[in-house]
Structure 1
Amino acid sequence: MTTHPSAPAPGRSHFPALGTTAALLVTDPSALPTAEAVLRAELAAVDRTCSRFRPDSELSRVNLNPEGTRAVSEYFAEALQAALRAARLTDGAVDPTVGSAVIALGYDRTFASVRPDDARPVPVARPAPGWRHIAFDPRARRLRLPPGTRLDLGATAKALAADRAARQAAAVTGCGVLVSLGGDLATAGPAPEGGWRIALADDHARPAPEGGAAVAVTGGALATSGIRVRTWRRGGRVVHHIVDPATGEPATPGWRTVTVAAATCVDANAVSTAAIVLGDRALDWLRGTALPARLTGLDDTVVRLGGWPPDSHAPAPAPVSSAATAPGGPR
C-alpha cells in the first residue's frame, strides 16, 4: 500500500440522475465544472432518447407505433447498436425486446414510483420476441420491429452514456475522468497514480473514499448487476428487474451480484447482466469470455474469475492508493 502525498485529490461531483446517482471524478480538480457540463449534457441526451418513462422520449414513440419501418436519430441508432451488440455477445441472454415482460411485472414507471407491494397477479409470462427479429439498417438508420414488440434499452443505454461521457470529458479536459452511473462505471484519459480505487458493494461498484473491499482500476470499465436492489412484490411474490428473455420471467436467483471488468462499460454491463440471467451456467460461460469477474452468491460466497484480484480491506490512504492489481479486459 503506497501513499502519494504529492498527487492532488481528484475533483468529485455527485448528483441524482436516471433514477440513480451519477458520480464524476477528474484527476485535475480545476477541470471539474467542464467535465460535469459534459456529463449532464450526455445524461439529458440519453434520457430524452432512451427513457421508457418519458412519453416524449424517442424510445416511447418507437414503442407506441412499432409497425412499419421508421427512421431513428443518430443517438438512438448508437444505443440500439449497443443493445444488439450485447445480445450477440451474450447469445440473447441480454435482449432489448423484453420491454413487454418488464412492464407486465409492474416496472412500468420509474423505480421510485413502482408499487412496493402490488396485489395484482403477475400476468402469464411469454418469451421475448427476440433480438434477431429486429430489422435495422445502421447506415440508413432505418428500423422495423416485430409486431407487438416493445424495446427496453435499459440494460445498455446507461452503460453507453457512461462510456460516452467519460470519453468526451477526457477529450475536452485533457485529464483523467471516471464516470459512475449506479452500477455502470467508465474511465478515460490518464488514471491517477495507483489507479482509481473502486469499492465493491451489494448494489454496485463506486468510487471508494475510504477503506473497504476495493480494487484499483487503471483503465476501461466496470459494471455490476444484481437482484437485491430493484425488487418489489407482485401478486404475493418477490420479483426483480432482470428478465430472462427465454421465459419473460425474472431471472432465477443464482448470484446476488456480478461485477465484470471490460474495455467498455457496454460490454461489462452486458456480461454482468448475462451472468445473472444464466445463474448456475454463468461460471463456465464467464470463463469463455476471459474477462475478470467477481460473483457473490446468495450465501455470500465470492467467486473470482479471469484474474480478478483478492479484495483489499486495508484503509485507503488519501488521496490515492495502489490497493490491488487493476482488473480489466482489453485496454
Structure 2
Amino acid sequence: MVGVDKWKVWGSVVEVDVTETAALPEAAALIAGVIDEVESLCDIHRGDAEIHAVNLSQGAPVKVSRRMSALLRSALWVARMTDGAVNPLTSELADDDLVPPVHPSPSFLDVQIDDDVVFAPWGASFDITDTAKADTVDRAADLVARELECGAAVRIGDVIATAGHCPAGGWQIPVPGDGEIELPNGTAMATAFAPTATEPSVAAESAADTEWDAVTVIANDALWAYGAGVAALDRGIGAIRWIEQHELRARFVDRSGRVHTTKSW
C-alpha cells in the first residue's frame, strides 16, 4: 500500500508517495530537510538567502557554497538547453534602464562558474527558484529511495520525480485535465502552463505568445522535464517537433482545448 503525505512550503504544494507506509514519516522529514536547505539558498524573498550574495557581487567574483554552485550550474544548463526560454536572470532587475551605457545587457551566457566561484556580469540578478525546485524534486526522490530502500514519488508544484522500485500497478500520476498516466519508474514529469491574465489586453498578448495552454513532458529527470515544458510553450507550433528531436514524451493542450501528443506518449 502506498503512503501519501502533503504539505505546502516555499509557495508550492509538496507531496511524497512511498511504497512502504511505515517509511512515510521519515521520508517526509528527509524531503522537508532538503527543501529547507535549498530554500535558504535560493528564496529571493528571504533576506538571509545565499543568492543575494551572488546578486550583490555586480561583476566581482564571489565564492558560494557547494550546493549553491550546483544549483546555479543546473539553472545555467537548462538555460542553454532551452536557448534561454528558461532564463536564470530576472528581467525586472536586468532592465536596460538600470545598466549604465558602458555596460552591455547581462546574459546568462556571460556567467562563469569555476569550482565554487561565480562570476556574473554587472547588472545580472538571479532568480533560480523554479529550476531549484525541479532539481530538488530529483534529489529528494533519490534520497528517499536510497536511504529508506523503498519506492518514492516526490512532487513540488507541477513537477514530479520517481525513484526506487514502483508500487504494484506502477506509478499512476494525474495529468492535468486528462485522468492519469503510468509514469515509468525512475523518470520524471512536469507540466508547464501558459500565463493567464484578467486584463483583456494582457490576455490577448499572452495568447499571441504561445500556441499552447499547457505542455506536459516526461523525461529522465525533473529538471529537464520542467525546462523542456517551458521551452515548448515558448516555441509554439514547432514545439512538437523540437520535443521529438530530444526524444521526449509530451502532451500538448492548445488554446482551443484540443490535445496533441508526441508519437511516444
Name the % identity: 31
Q: Indicate the structure with greater helix content.
A: 2
Are the equivalent residues in 2 in contact too, given 1:290–1:306 (CA < 8 A)?
no
CA, structure 1 residues 150+32, in 2 after alignment: closer, same or farther (shift >3 Å)? same
* 2:181 maps to 1:215: yes
Name stretches of at least 5 consecutive residues in structure 1 with no aligned partner: 1-7, 105-122, 203-211, 241-248, 309-331
Output the CA distance in 2 between the equivalents of 1:251 and 1:50: 32
Output the CA distance in 2 between the equivalents of 1:145 and 1:155: 20
RMSD: 2.8
The CA deviation string for residues 118-161 of structure 1, in whole angstroms up to 9 with x for no partner, is xxxxx99x997322111111xx2111111101112123111011
**Which TM-score applies when normalising by structure 1?**
0.72
Output the CA distance in 1 between the equivalents of 2:5 and 2:162: 15
1:67 shift after superposition: 2.7
1:250 shift after superposition: 10
Name stretches of at least 5 consecutive residues in structure 2 with no aligned partner: none
* 2:188 maps to 1:196: no
CA, structure 1 residues 101+128, in 2 after alignment: closer, same or farther (shift >3 Å)? farther
Are the equivalent residues in 2 in contact too, given 1:134–1:146 (CA < 8 A)?
yes
2:71 maps to which of 57, 72, 79: 79
The CA deviation string for residues 75-126 of structure 1, in whole angstroms up to 9 with x for no partner, is 11111111111122222222212x133898xxxxxxxxxxxxxxxxxx99x9
The AA in structure 2 aligned to 1:285 is W
* 2:141 maps to 1:166: yes
Output the CA distance in 1 between the equivalents of 2:63 and 2:199: 37
Helix, strand or coil at the partner of 2:92: helix
Please list, as runs of the form range in 1=range in 2, the aligned pairs for 1:221-236 lying within 5 A after superposition: 221-228=188-195, 231=196
Helix, strand or coil at the partner of 2:166: coil
The AA in structure 2 aligned to 1:151 is F
1:198 shift after superposition: 0.8
**Which TM-score applies when normalising by structure 2?**
0.89
* 2:130 maps to 1:155: yes
Output the CA distance in 2 between the equivalents of 1:29 and 1:303: 37
How many residue pairs match? The answer is: 260
Are the equivalent residues in 1 in contact too, given 2:210–2:235 (CA < 8 A)?
no
The CA deviation string for residues 193-238 of structure 1, in whole angstroms up to 9 with x for no partner, is 2211111116xxxxxxxxx61101132100111125xx45689635
Are the equivalent residues in 2 in contact too, given 1:100–1:149 (CA < 8 A)?
no
Please list, as runs of the form range in 1=range in 2, the aligned pairs for 1:266-281 lying within 5 A after superposition: 266-281=223-238
Aligned equivalent of 1:112: none
Higher RCO structure (Cα 8 Å, ≥6 apart): 1
The AA in structure 2 aligned to 1:129 is P
The AA in structure 1 aligned to 2:109 is R
Helix, strand or coil at the partner of 1:101: coil
Output the CA distance in 2 between the equivalents of 1:195 and 1:103: 45
1:31 maps to which of 20, 23, 32: 23
Moved over 4 A (4+): 231-236
The CA deviation string for residues 254-297 of structure 1, in whole angstroms up to 9 with x for no partner, is 21111111111001111011111222331221121110001111
